[in-house]
Structure 1
Amino acid sequence: MLISDLLDWLAGYRDAACPAEYAAEICNTVMKNGIDSRGMRRCGDGMLRFSMTDSEYGKLIRLLPEEVVVTERRHGLPYLVYRYRKRIGIPVGLVIFAVLVKLSTLYVWDITVSGNERLSDEEIISSLGDLGFGIGTKIPSVDFYSICHRLVLENDGISWVSVNMIGTTARVEVIELRAKEDINDDGNGTPTNLVAACDGKIVRVETASGRTEVRAGESVKKGQLLVNGVLEIGKEGERGYLPVRSRARVYAETEVRLEAVIPFETVEKTFTGRKNLSKSINFFGKTIKLKENSGILPDGCDIIEDKRRLVLFEGGRLTGGIALPVSIVTGYCEEYRTENVILTEDEALMRAEREMTDMFSSVLSGAEILSVSSEHFAADGEMHLVRTVVCIMNIAEEVPIGISRGSERQ
């Protein structure tokens, strides 16, 4: 779609319309004669509107009365050239533009990332930038093998990466390292035991490596050994021991206490309304300053940067548009002053509820909630919100063998 739309723009196309009474005739003529039209739709004013190239439009009007179809708007290079045909600067500018476009194919215009889940596109692109590869980098000068090798060595979250150039777009494919809690880990590395991170009653055990020391229905205490990383090997009389890295999920019914504390007296920002503005253009990785912040920035200010990539034909007939290696960077510095604020009990409780929501999502992620009890009270100038949660969660905690923790048994 992208290439065909670009060819249509180069050849010229138009938006056309016809009255409602001719709509059926237009549709039949287009289908019967294989005329290519796009975006055919009936609008609120009763008109049937559509777009087609000049060549297809010529076929259509030869088959219909002249008054049936009306051209509403023309688009494309031929109309642009005709409009400015008497201005000599236009063809000269087009030649310069063509030369610049040809030269620009030697540089990276865009970077896309795939295969990442935990790492964001921005983190990976930033890491590549630290290694000297980014938008505006000259393609022939890049050692892609070295870039990929160094990125893997310097980023703990990536196990494999490739960078391939498709035209002027760098396509980065990554394979991330599996999370530490991944039960399918191959078990290599430092020998470890799994111990209970808290008290609980075992519900089920899913062991991938190591020797299970507990069973469903058994109560355990914090620090108790759950999965042993020392395996017995060999025949009787010739027994030996093999230390391995324990891998398992041990689910237990347990009680978790969460507490959010909000002081009644707090310090808050109040913005004065004064702003400083800076603007710059990032062109092929080079920054050109257009406007700088005036004066000395105050101590109390928030600096916000908005970076917007320019996209050719965005929102037009070209599907998705063409991302250009040009970004407009706008920086805002908003001045503020700090004030002491006294919260009411309701306001403090509302903030505690928001904090508690964040704690729930981080501490109890993946847990099966069985029951929740809640209480709140004010004490020592603070609002306390306490929630006691009974849930089923993975309580296994990995510890290196040889380190004693609580009642852990080696």
Structure 2
Amino acid sequence: MLVLKLWNYIAGYLVIRVDGLSLEKFINLTISNGIFLWGIKRSGYTTMTACISIGGFKRLKGIAPKVKCRVKILGKKGLPFLLVRLRHRKMLLIGLTAFMVVLYFLSSFIWMVDIEGNLKVPDEELLNVLAKYGIRPGAFKKGLDISAIENRLVTDIPDIWWASIQIKGTKAIVKVVERAQPPPMVDKDLPCNIVASKDGIIHEMVVLEGQPMVRVGDTVKKGQLLVSGVIEDPETKATRFVHAMAQVTARTWYEGQAICSVEEGVVRRTGKKVVHKFIDMGRWVVEYQKGEIPFKHYEVEEKRVPFFGEGRFFPVTMIVREYYEVEKLPASMSLEVLRETAQKRAMEDVNKKIPSNVKIVDKQVKYDMIEGKGIKATVYVEVLEDISLEQKINVE
């Protein structure tokens, strides 16, 4: 769709008004003759407006009389008509050309470096390593070996497990995944037990070395012995110490809570909205469409729409801000909305506690009415996770 709009702008098109009693026949004839109309809007039973290419408009001469419709040009859009208007304004045309040349030149450089995903590794450390290999504000984009820089970033910073670099327009977006810190491990040459890192119910056990002390289905407590590294021979009664190795998967539970207050109330959108548009050219932001916001309470959503295919050639984007009017409702008016809000917040709370390497198998929600306060939601999430933890055996 974006390519089609760009082509229509470059080739030029007309905005026309069609008057007549047979508008449907007019549209059908244009389609059957290979004439493309877009942006069709009916302003009445006998009137409509549409956009049409210059070549398509010339071919309408044989169609409009057949269905007794009158066609009138309302506007001329696109680059050819703009150049005609600029023909007698040479300095403006020269300035526009120079602006496009400068814009293209500036788009060949990186002007912004965004880093995502790092929690422990400081931005400064990442930026210094990236700058070392050519990813920095003011750097020329051409000739950068992105794949090699990604590998060097992982090699130079031990806490980084994975890195991805994308160049979009004049911005370099660097996404990293940090290495998860494993629990302290006992040297393989030292004897150790496997104990439970938390409470749970044993779901599966894979024991590679050691003596199992629990079975599938047993309930265990944090710190309880799961696999012993002390093995006694039943015949000789001799005792030997081994480095126990096992993967013990258990069903564990996480809990999240949240309260949606009666005093706080809830909001909902009324359906009314106002749209503001801006053109972002890197260092300059130009207002394209802006007006007053007539709402007392509103929510804002912002999105960026590239003009030229993700901004790879020209770093120009359209910023679209949508202001949605909202109204505040007393909690008593919408108990169901209160419940949904409380549950959503409780889920956000519990998600912060759940490790990323577990499998969620069940989820339950409990609601409680708190007199004078609101609704309390408690979310219980059941997961499967490895609870095995190595514990050194002191042999004296």
Matched with 2:157 is 154
Amino acid at match of 1:221: K
May I ask how many residue pairs the two structures share in their alignment? Answer: 313
In the other structure, the counterpart of 1:19 is 19
Match of 2:86 among 81, 84, 87: 84
* 1:58 Cα deviation from its structure 2 partner: 1.6
Q: Distance in 2 between matches of 1:86 and 1:161?
A: 50
Deviations 1:125-169 (A, max 9, x none): x95697232675312364535532343243745425465x69x57
Residue 250 (str. 1) matches residue 250 (str. 2): yes
* Paired residue type of 1:159: W
Q: Which string of whole-angstrom CA distances, capped at 9 and with x for unpartnered residues, describes residues 330-381 of structure 1?
A: xxxxxxxxxxxxxxxxxxxx9x99986654443468463568596989xxxx
AA matched with 1:26: F
**Alpha-carbon separation, structure 2, partners of 1:327 and 1:403:** 63
C-alpha distance in structure 2 between counterparts of 1:208 and 1:20, whole Å: 84
Q: Which residue of 1 aligns with 2:392?
A: 402
| Aligned ranges 1:3-402 → 2 under 5 Å | 3-19=3-19, 21-39=21-39, 41-43=40-42, 45-46=44-45, 47-65=47-65, 68-104=70-106, 106-108=108-110, 131-132=130-131, 133=135, 137-140=139-142, 142=144, 144=146, 147-152=149-154, 153-154=156-157, 156-159=159-162, 161=164, 195-202=195-202, 204-205=203-204, 207=206, 213-226=213-226, 246-252=246-252, 325=315, 358-363=348-353, 366=360, 368-369=362-363, 392-394=382-384, 396-397=386-387, 399-402=389-392
Indicate if the aligned counterparts of 1:112 and 1:172 stay in contact, CA closer than 8 A.
yes
Give aligned-pair identity as a percent. Answer: 22
Distance 1:26 1:369, change over 3 A: closer
User: If the length of structure 1 is used for normalisation, what is the TM-score?
Assistant: 0.53
Contact residue 258 and residue 386 of structure 1 kept, 8 A: no
1:323 and 1:83, CA in 2 relative to 1: closer, same or farther beyond 3 A?
same
Counterpart-to-counterpart distance in 2, 1:69 and 1:189? 85
Cα separation, 1, equivalents of 2:59 and 2:186: 72
Contact kept in structure 1, 2:162 and 2:177, CA below 8 Å: yes
How high is the TM-score relative to the length of structure 2? Answer: 0.55
Match for 1:205: what amino acid? E
- Partner Cα separation in structure 1 for residue 30 and residue 228 of structure 2: 75
Cα drift, residue 9 of structure 1: 1.0
Distance 1:29 1:19, change over 3 A: same
Deviation at 1:195, TM superposition (A): 3.6
Gaps of 5+ in 1: 182-187, 232-236, 262-280, 290-305, 330-349, 378-382, 405-410
Gaps of 5+ in 2: 232-237, 260-278, 286-299, 320-338
Report deviation, 1:319: 8.6
Paired with 1:194 and 1:42, the residues of 2 have a C-alpha distance of 73
Measured after TM superposition, the shift of residue 5 of structure 1 is 2.7
CA contact (8 A) 1:135 1:325 kept: no
SS at match of 2:50: strand
Q: In the alignment, is the contact (CA less than 8 A) between 1:196 and 1:224 conserved in 2?
A: yes
- Is the 1:110–1:324 contact (alpha carbons within 8 Å) kept by the matching residues of 2? no
Q: Which whole-Å CA distance do the structure 2 matches of 1:57 and 1:208 have between them?
A: 79
**Distance (whole Å) between structure 1 residues aligned to residue 258 and residue 78 of structure 2:** 61
Instruction: Verify the 8 A CA contact 1:226 1:396 in the aligned structure 2.
Output: no
Q: CA 1:367/1:227 → structure 2, altered by over 3 Å: closer, same or farther?
A: farther
- Higher mean Cα deviation, 3-12 or 210-219? 210-219
Q: Deviations over 1:290-338 (max 9, x none)?
A: xxxxxxxxxxxxxxxx9x998565xxxx898889536999xxxxxxxxx
Letter in 2 for 1:223: G
Counterpart position of 1:339: none
Tell me how large the CA RMSD over aligned residues is.
Answer: 5.8
